Structure 1
Amino acid sequence: MLLHMSTWLVAFVFGSLILVTQGRVLWSKTPATHGFKNEEGYILKTAYPLGNGRLGIMPFGHPGSEKLVLNIDSLWSGGPFEASNYTGGNPLENKHDALSRIRSTIFESGTTSDMSDFVGNGNNYGSYRVLGNLTVSIDGIETFTGNQIFKIAVFCSHPDSACFYHVEASGGLPPISISFENQLVPQDLIRPGCDNNSVSIIGVTQTGPPEGLKYEATARVLGSSDAEATCSEAGTLRLVPAAQQTSIEFVIAAGTNYDQTKGNSEHNYTFRGTDPHAIVDKTANAVLAKDYTRILHSHMLDFASLVSKFTLSLPDSLNSSGIETAHLISGYKVDGPGDSFLEALLFDFARYLLISSSRTGSLPANLQGRWTEELKPEWRSDYHANINLQMNYWVADQTGLQAAQGPLFDYMRLNWTPRGRETANLLYNSTGWVTHNEMNIFGHSGMKSDPKWANYPVAPAWMMQHVWDYFDYTQDVTWLTEVGYPLMKGVATFWVSQLQEDAFTNDGTLVAIPCNSPEQGPTTFGCAHYQQAIHALLVNVMGAALITKDTDTLFSDKVRLALAKMDKGLHVASWGGVKEWKMPESLGFDTQNKHRHLSHLTGWYPGYSIASYLRGYTDSGIQAAINKTLIARGNGTASDADAGWAKIWRSACWARLNNTDEAYFHLRYAIDRNFAGNGLSMYKGVQPPFQIDANLGLGGAILSMLVVDLPRAYTNGSSNDVARTVVLGPAIPRSWRGGSVRGLLLRGGGSVDFSWDNEGLVTQATLRSGQAKYQMVNKKGESVGYGVH
């Protein structure tokens, strides 16, 4: 079982995933197994995931009777397919009259405990869910030993929008049986099928009314085959190959009748598209006549076109390449020297997982990317936008994975915005649009539960950082004009209408009210996290307005006024750290704690309200406050959680402080504490559930150790006329000695290659492209490159 992580995804062989590049491979001697979630047999602790954005597959089981867990991005329960009156969590009538009461209470006492008029519900919210298993049984294979050589390869192709299963045998193929199943759902809701060259499964999430979401999958024999085929009543296809036949392939296609473009008032928010049979049939038939070698070659070229844009080269000083992946990970200890081979392998894996779970035409990567084996995974495997969704895309901008971000922007534009306009009106009496913390694929934009978790209208403001960053790295003005700026302007319109003059401190600043710092503390005003996210949004939208030549001066004047007056969310507590809430410490909420979230540091990392727009990266006083905050927050393992993403976030924050030791410690701690033998990160230490944000975020944390490339405010429609200072290698550990980077993208449209010495100090940098001017310096401030090409 092998998974080479580099230039191409080659295949999945006998329960292992194979990727090829620089000798970095995920591999196992034993197949993935199925068992209870708290055991090593949990599929998501042992299987290697495959995907093409829309489809996800996890092969597991004995090679003589292998199963492929099949997922499709849009297979969800709930929403309008479960209740025809589904409102996306919005109330049926205006609730914004309660705002003045809530705000008055907060400004009088500092907090409120009554948000009852605002709290929505999670009725019919639904869940991402598994489609089922495809079983492939090969007669005569009972052990791993024998005289005949079998080769099995599995991959999911984005160009062909399908997955493929290839098996070949040195002495001719024995009989093979394939079938679909899903034992988790009521059997009256699914219908397995079989004909002389394919098997299928057709299902619906409920009988209705309303009729549930329809889904369908098929596995068909690819090309011409001389095999004798028979179907059983249970839906199993048995193939007896001809004596001379040495290989056979199956194409696997799937679809649902979900349509993201139908999630608006024009279509009554139905999200209901056409029956999936036609598209599944068309997808499968389109490849039936193709040569398998050409299909594989096309897949490899597509994958290579993305991963080859960026290369991280680290030494294999411990000779780890020949050690089984699970053994590498189990032997990796936070108090050890680290393992640059494994760290680079997990970085490659982060990029691979994003490519495999987020491509053009798919939904964005959810809490489990594209892979679940359950009907109701933890947190519904939805979209949490108070760090998790953001972290999923940390690795994209700087490593050339812009193609993986399209689904994220489409999702915000088509799924969040239409219902979000209703939410803005019904709850806040505002134009523009807004959503809250938890989102499904059915336009859920209202508050879902208790304010501690759900009072989070700042989610879109934070997500607009991804919109602006996409432009800042690509300099694609057409995209900004057509896609990015309309999204940003809608969110900014909402927030300039909501900021209120601080009537508690009477300092003349504008604050967000009511607000909650994600998942802890009181409902109050001026939460640091809100102020920082909104500050960055307003700075960026002003730049976007200039670049796109927006003539709406009324909007620009409102933004400019709000920026001048708003509290920027940076206050220092008596103990020296950054305050999470603006209210006085005497109210008891700004004591030091080890909570998993670093919400009041989002303007430091992954954002830049503090680091750049308030010049915090070069301000020793701000750096000292960040340092004390991170020390107080601890290592990411406390009574509230033991999640990998919390440790990864800490690593990235320390890296931006140029603190190599702490950044590397927290990176190692996350790998040691949370990563299972197949490289996937678990949420409760090394125990399930699997949650993909730490895997994807690890790529961002390593990038933050490699570069500090902060944005600058656009004040005249361009920021490319003055040289940008880029710090290369702010926190490179010595164990990465003699490494290098190729193809790191820079803000302003540039690209740089660089290398470092045995002490982790960057000594050489070559600017490859870019519209902007750059001043390249290492962590000592020494110039290592300057120019514009």
Structure 2
Amino acid sequence: MDARDAVVLVQSTKGVACVRPQAASTRITKRLWSTTSANFSSIIQQAYPIGNSRLGALPFGEAGHEKLSLNRDSLWSGGPFENSSYRGGNPEQAVSQSLPAIRDRIWQNGTGNVSKLMGDNENYGSYAVLGNLSVTISGVTNASGYMRSLDLETGVHTTSYASGGGQYTIKTYCSYPDDVCVYSISSTRGLPAVNIGIDNVMSNASLVSSRCSKSGVHLHGITQADIGMTYKATARLVGRHDRVRCRNNTLEVPSTSHRQLTMVLAAGTNYDEDHGTVADNFSFRGDDPGPYVQAAVEAASHKSAQELLHAHITDYEHLSSAFSLEIPDTLNSSGVETSKLISRYRTNATSGDPYLESLVFDLGRYLFISSSRPGSLPANLQGKWAQYLSNAWGADYHANINLQMNYWPADQTGLGSLQQGLWDYMTKTWAPRGSETAELLYAAPGWVTHDEMNIFGHTGMKTGEEYWADYPASAAWMMQHVWDHYDYTRNLTWLATQGYPQLLKPTTEFWLSQLQQDHYFHDGTLVVNPCSSPEHGPTTFGCTHYQQLLHQLLTTTLHSAALVNETDPTFLTHLTTSLAKLDKGLHIGSWSQLQEWKLDLDVPNNTHRHLSHLVGWYPGFSLSAYLSGYTNATIQAAVATTLWSRGVGIGSDANSGWEKVWRSACWARLNETERAYYELRLTIEENWAGNGLSMYSGRSEPFQVDANLGFVGAVLSMLVVDLPPGGAWGEEGGVRTVVLGPAIPAAWAGGRVRGLRLRGERKVDFSWDDQGLVTEASMSCGVGGVKLK
């Protein structure tokens, strides 16, 4: 047994045993529901999203006239499909010769600029909506008893109503096993005529055709003339329907005595992630999607409605049931419409609404499952649900908090396997072009990325303000997710074949080449020069955010190198000596704050949205574990001072949800229950639309999924502190400490957790009393043994 795998669980009054997990208790089914339809004017704020990670849909429209707003994960404008000379934001020739002068200026003045390293934004593009599947049921008028709902435990959207003496039920979902979206109508009487069409909304496409055949309705198009991305979609009826006909590109299904009609829809593009290499000229161009789309709908259409639904629910429930957070519904809120629960919610009601808060938590897991699976692109800024041709920030991959926050729910709630698409995306779209960026901008080995990325390997700096563009630390931050995935799963095969050689090591090689002796303070430490704290402050050196991330990166790479038997002595020596000299990003400033920069430039009560200099506290562990900050009163005080000064997340520069849940998680790691809980409540009141989706600025569009997913991470931070050992933290006698219930609010009295993952491939179940103190816990055995306390 590795001593690092021994665990002490504290805050449990009745002891901890290595036993079978507790059985699931009776719990209220979590669902979003409404008695009014979602309308076209505010789809993203009213519709309930469905998805299978590759396909996404938003059902909207009135009874008898429903539509699905459709997305396919790889449908983007821009990139090499619109410009064959697209360079991923990189300059045509090397600009690394400018670095020495940039660095010298910063050493002399403390600040400088990196304008000579900037690339371009040409053909950056945007994630784009595909179109609408339209379904009209003739004769449906004056519908009564209307209800639409989304079951978060099965991933099935249901609409029901009565009309003309019949009761209609429509089940809609996107199936991962069959890679189709399914739309199934049933009636207590025979079905009237039904018309089905696909409405194209790609109005700027040069070539679009919508056609109909007796096999279904079809949409073909490209995103721009001559070289644009090809996309195709087909909707097909399940089973045989001999009397159908086509009129005006609409499939007309005549009335029938049958009581059920089911259709399936598949979509695809000719984007191919495997063709983003030098050998492919970074084309990302794959095969015509037509044959795949046709094969998918053909296969699904030969299954019964019951078979399709069973396959979907079996697959989805396997994931949704892997973890549960159960909090008593003390206010009987499950019987109130979701939009009404949200509209009446108030931050200053300190008792909150436990049911709504647990519903929002479950919605976050649902959205993660629905937008991130193996074989898909990762969850982007809007998950997979974008309603426009050009969306805010391109609905891209912002990697200075947003992409990272999207993946906070994964490993701890049993969804770690759903990250494979993220690892492949980084390996196949970041690394190849990022190697070119490393050479052209920094004359460096390995690979590097900056803040804003699309699906076409945009790894260079975008033009614009430096504090947006100058962020080469994005890959370094993502390497925390790589290490965490190994640490929770202990999948050494994955670490040895992908995690270490393709991700951790080349990212580390880049940064080892960039570290500089501090020529400003002359303290013998290694620092980054140049750097900018994400979206804030000047271009300078030794930015706290960078130094903490690199402390984590070098440490975890060193651990990984030992696990995979690294044989390169030069690399290991460079890594070890650099880590020993590295400035770790811990400097306490003139007003007792944790400094954001090595220079003491912080201004009190600056309410900037980012908490970049707390990355080593949460979600990272450079401060909290490697520098023993979790048990160090001086570090705790500096973190608390910084949080108080930064404000609650409603500043002059932003009022988004993601900044509030980040604050919540940081307060929770300080064991500050009331502050952590306050931020969660503030997020719901300020940023949640009536359908539970988080809006960016107050409750105004655009939708941004990171706060929904980050809410899960913040709650997990309130439930457990599970840090890797480092410094003096958790290493007494070779034992790792896990703290249960560090910040559970009293409002969640009598709650319980089942299936919470711990580092070392373990799971723990526990419950707590009316004060939020853990009373019972049981742990399943994973790697190594368990030492009780």
Question: Normalising by structure 2, what TM-score?
Answer: 0.92
Partner-residue secondary structure (3-state), 1:123? coil
How many Å apart are 1:116 and its aligned residue?
2.1
Correspondence for 2:266: 253
Whole-angstrom CA distance in 2 between matches of 1:420 and 1:21:
48
Structure 1 position 164 matched with structure 2 position 182: yes
Letter of the 2:540 counterpart: T
* 1:284-326 residue CA offsets vs partner (Å, 9 max, x unmatched): 1111211211111111010111111111110100000100000
Correspondence for 1:396: 410
Partner-residue secondary structure (3-state), 1:697? helix
Whole-angstrom CA distance in 2 between matches of 1:580 and 1:59:
44
Whole-angstrom CA distance in 2 between matches of 1:575 and 1:592:
11
Letter of the 1:52 counterpart: N
Whole-angstrom CA distance in 2 between matches of 1:567 and 1:726:
28
Correspondence for 2:451: 437
Whole-angstrom CA distance in 2 between matches of 1:318 and 1:460:
44
Partner-residue secondary structure (3-state), 2:279? helix
Correspondence for 2:783: 771
Residues 263, 442 of structure 1: 8 Å contact kept: yes
How many Å apart are 1:417 and its aligned residue?
0.2
Correspondence for 2:23: none
Correspondence for 1:68: 68
Partner-residue secondary structure (3-state), 1:267? coil
How many Å apart are 1:403 and its aligned residue?
2.3
**Cα separation, partners in 2 of 1:324 and 1:632, compared to 1, 3 Å:** same
Among 566, 582, 586, the alignment partner of 1:570 is 586
Among 27, 32, 38, the alignment partner of 1:32 is 38
Among 158, 168, 174, the alignment partner of 2:192 is 174
Correspondence for 1:237: 251
Give 1:120-519 correspondences, 5 Å limit.
Answer: 120-145=119-144, 146=163, 147-186=165-204, 188-208=206-226, 211-225=227-241, 228-232=243-247, 234-242=248-256, 244-336=257-349, 337-449=351-463, 450-486=465-501, 487-519=503-535
Correspondence for 1:653: 666
Residues 421, 434 of structure 1: 8 Å contact kept: yes
How many Å apart are 1:752 and its aligned residue?
0.6
Whole-angstrom CA distance in 2 between matches of 1:723 and 1:310:
26
How many Å apart are 1:223 and its aligned residue?
1.2
Partner-residue secondary structure (3-state), 1:725? strand
Whole-angstrom CA distance in 1 between matches of 2:201 and 2:742:
51
Correspondence for 2:612: 599
Correspondence for 1:104: 104
Residues 725, 774 of structure 1: 8 Å contact kept: no
How many Å apart are 1:591 and its aligned residue?
4.4
Structure 1 position 676 matched with structure 2 position 689: yes
Letter of the 1:471 counterpart: Y
Partner-residue secondary structure (3-state), 2:96? coil
Structure 1 position 615 matched with structure 2 position 615: no
Letter of the 2:565 counterpart: K
* 1:409-430 residue CA offsets vs partner (Å, 9 max, x unmatched): 1110001000000011111011
How many Å apart are 1:722 and its aligned residue?
3.0
Whole-angstrom CA distance in 1 between matches of 2:569 and 2:603:
40
Whole-angstrom CA distance in 1 between matches of 2:298 and 2:44:
31
Correspondence for 1:4: none
Letter of the 1:55 counterpart: L
**Cα separation, partners in 2 of 1:688 and 1:673, compared to 1, 3 Å:** same
Correspondence for 2:8: none
Structure 1 position 724 matched with structure 2 position 724: no
Residues 206, 224 of structure 2: 8 Å contact kept: no
Whole-angstrom CA distance in 2 between matches of 1:624 and 1:589:
16
**Cα separation, partners in 2 of 1:187 and 1:527, compared to 1, 3 Å:** closer
Whole-angstrom CA distance in 1 between matches of 2:523 and 2:562:
31
Whole-angstrom CA distance in 2 between matches of 1:184 and 1:163:
20
* 1:625-667 residue CA offsets vs partner (Å, 9 max, x unmatched): 0000000000100110000000000000000000000000000
Q: Unaligned stretches of 5+ in structure 2? A: 1-25, 145-162
Residues 130, 202 of structure 2: 8 Å contact kept: no
How many Å apart are 1:229 and its aligned residue?
1.3
Partner-residue secondary structure (3-state), 2:716? helix
* 1:389-440 residue CA offsets vs partner (Å, 9 max, x unmatched): 0000101110010122111111100010000000111110110000000000
Partner-residue secondary structure (3-state), 2:192? coil
* 1:574-598 residue CA offsets vs partner (Å, 9 max, x unmatched): 1111000112x3xx55544110000
Whole-angstrom CA distance in 1 between matches of 2:413 and 2:628:
25
Residues 604, 645 of structure 2: 8 Å contact kept: no
Taking only aligned residues, the RMSD between alpha carbons, in angstroms, comes to 1.6
* 1:346-394 residue CA offsets vs partner (Å, 9 max, x unmatched): 1110000000001111000000000011011100000000000000010
Letter of the 2:34 counterpart: S
Partner-residue secondary structure (3-state), 1:522? strand
Residues 723, 774 of structure 1: 8 Å contact kept: no
How many Å apart are 1:184 and its aligned residue?
4.8
Residues 205, 224 of structure 2: 8 Å contact kept: no
* 1:464-501 residue CA offsets vs partner (Å, 9 max, x unmatched): 00000000000000000011001100000000110000
Whole-angstrom CA distance in 1 between matches of 2:616 and 2:609:
17
Q: Unaligned stretches of 5+ in structure 1? A: 1-19, 36-41, 776-784
Correspondence for 1:12: none
How many Å apart are 1:724 and its aligned residue?
1.5
Letter of the 2:194 counterpart: I
Correspondence for 2:703: 690
Partner-residue secondary structure (3-state), 2:244? strand
Between the two proteins, what is the percent identity of the paired residues? Answer: 52
Whole-angstrom CA distance in 2 between matches of 1:258 and 1:125:
15
Partner-residue secondary structure (3-state), 1:521? strand
How many Å apart are 1:721 and its aligned residue?
9.0
Partner-residue secondary structure (3-state), 2:385? coil
Whole-angstrom CA distance in 1 between matches of 2:451 and 2:774:
40
Residues 200, 210 of structure 2: 8 Å contact kept: no
Whole-angstrom CA distance in 2 between matches of 1:591 and 1:123:
39
Whole-angstrom CA distance in 2 between matches of 1:192 and 1:427:
46
Residues 54, 377 of structure 2: 8 Å contact kept: yes
Correspondence for 2:677: 664
Residues 726, 774 of structure 1: 8 Å contact kept: no
Whole-angstrom CA distance in 2 between matches of 1:425 and 1:722:
42
Partner-residue secondary structure (3-state), 1:128? coil
Whole-angstrom CA distance in 2 between matches of 1:303 and 1:676:
25
Letter of the 1:647 counterpart: K
Partner-residue secondary structure (3-state), 1:83? coil
Whole-angstrom CA distance in 2 between matches of 1:510 and 1:773:
39
**Cα separation, partners in 2 of 1:692 and 1:670, compared to 1, 3 Å:** same
Give 1:546-561 correspondences, 5 Å limit.
Answer: 546-561=562-577
